Amino acid sequence: MQPIVLASTSIYRKQLLERIIPSFECVAPNVDESPREAETPWDLVRRLSVEKAQAVAQHKNAIVIGSDQVGALSDRILTKPLDQTTAVDQLMATSGRTVQFLTGLCVYDSRSGESRSGVDTVTVRFRPFSRAQAQAYVEREQPLDCAGSFKVEGLGIALFEEVRSGDPTSLEGLPLIMLTEFLRQLGADPLDLTPLLRR
């Protein structure tokens, strides 16, 4: 049986994948996520999702799923803040503004060498809020490991005026509609568990 592996230790991506895949392994990809010079947010997330999947696929006979997400605010890339000060600063930069969140996805079959990759985009308009509100939000939810400094599945939704998306799971970190299609193309349709159990 060829297993499914998620090239991530993100609890959010794990919870999302559990919605469609009954059993899989999570493995840290150990990839440098630093942007390259003049690299666009779209190119960054696509490259990193591919690199993450390929890094894990080198050690696993599996179908490997890699993903990465950033926010694009004009020419500024919003990533995981990692500390409270950066999180508040990122949120204040988005107050009253529109941000595109790009999620790269790569599904790599290490046995055949086949892969599929793409980028899903979600547009979010943030409502105006004060620095005190941003600080209170960060202290409450601690979104330090979330691109853009919010948790859309929690209180973070209160920061928004509008979300435009073809896939509501994309903003959470893993675009399940695109993922399901890529898995289907590689012969691992989540609606048919038999291939998953035999691989």
| 58 CB burial (10 A radius; 0-12, 13-18, 19+) | exposed
Which of 68, 109, 120, 167 is flagged as catalytic? 68
> What three-state secondary structure class fits 73?
strand
CA distance 161 to 183: 33
Tokens (6 digits) for 49: 């999702």
Tokens (6 digits) for 79: 């990533």
Render 93-150 in DSSP notation, one character per residue: HHTTSEEEEEEEEEEEETTT--EEEEEEEEEEEEPP--HHHHHHHHHHH--TTSTTS-
Nearest to 29 by CA among 3, 55, 6: 55
Output phi, psi for 152, to 5 deg. Answer: -65, -25
Render 39-66 in DSSP notation, one character per residue: --HHHHHHHHHHHHHHHHHTT-SSEEEE
68 noted as active-site residue: yes
Active site residues: 68
